[in-house]
Amino acid sequence: QQPVQSPQAVILREGEDAVINCSSSKALYSVHWYRQKHGEAPVFLMILLKGGEQKGHEKISASFNEKKQQSSLYLTASQLSYSGTYFCGTDNSGNTPLVFGKGTRLSVIA
Amino acid sequence: EPEVTQTPSHQVTQMGQEVILRCVPISNHLYFYWYRQILGQKVEFLVSFYNNEISEKSEIFDDQFSVERPDGSNFTLKIRSTKLEDSAMYFCASSERRGNSPLHFGNGTRLTVT
């Protein structure tokens, strides 16, 4: 079951914040976040496991609300290097392959 | 840092031809995957492989597709008779475990079917 990401695209000025959401219609075991730059492979950012934890990675952090079956990725004080497409990947049981959302294209401009 | 390597980086083939895409996963990883991404679209799951057999496959992975681990290091995806709609970027990935372990992606093979 493919997760739903929103927004589809966002444009930020350097230093602005953004939130990307990922939701599922089924219970989630884990949510993964990846960033893909144009012409490159997706690169792992972080995993969140059921339990409602929040994780941080420099100025990028994420939360996981197990009850609402959704995760949010927070990008604060954005930098030009944050530009790319962000994908969430979800695993419903801990033993199934990741299914990715359609992605959120983030553009950071000077 | 160890990485997943894929060859070739770009493959052009004619419709109906067979292609083999190659991948060398990270050496201590146990799970291997193929995903594909049609230009500008989402990353779609094709197949996962564990303990020398397919563990899951999607409906995209029909009889035209097969995977193999012919030796201790390589992991291959074969498309028997390519179609125009098989044109895409094919990513190999590997992980140590399932569920709570990140996927490490290779740089992909861009397949163009003419």
pLDDT tens by residue, A40-88: 999 999 999 877 666 666 789 999 988 889 999 999 999 999 999 999 9
- CB–CB contact B45 A98 (8 Å): yes
pLDDT of A55 reads 67
Residues 6+ apart with CB under 8 A from A58: none
CB of B54 within 8 A of CB of B77?
no
Q: A1-46, pLDDT tens digit by residue?
A: 899 999 999 999 999 999 999 999 998 889 999 999 988 999 999 9
CA torsion angle A59 A46 A100 A22 (round to 10): -50
In chain B, residues with a C-beta closer than 8 Å to the C-beta of A100 are: 35, 42-45
CA torsion angle B94 B99 B102 B107 (round to 10): 40
Which of A36, A47, A103 shows the shortest C-beta gap to B100?
A47
Using a CB–CB cutoff of 8 Å, tell me whether A51 touches chain B: no
Using a CB–CB cutoff of 8 Å, tell me whether A4 touches chain B: no
Band of residue B71 on the pLDDT scale cut at 50, 70, 90: confident
Summarize the confidence of residues B45-67 as an average pLDDT: 95
Nearest CA in chain B to A91: B99
Summarize the confidence of residues B24-44 as an average pLDDT: 93
As a whole number of angstroms, the distance between CA A65 and CA B12 comes to 44
Which of B33, B44, B99 shows the shortest C-beta gap to A94?
B99
Q: Which DSSP symbol is given to B59?
A: T
Which token pair is B105?
């992606």
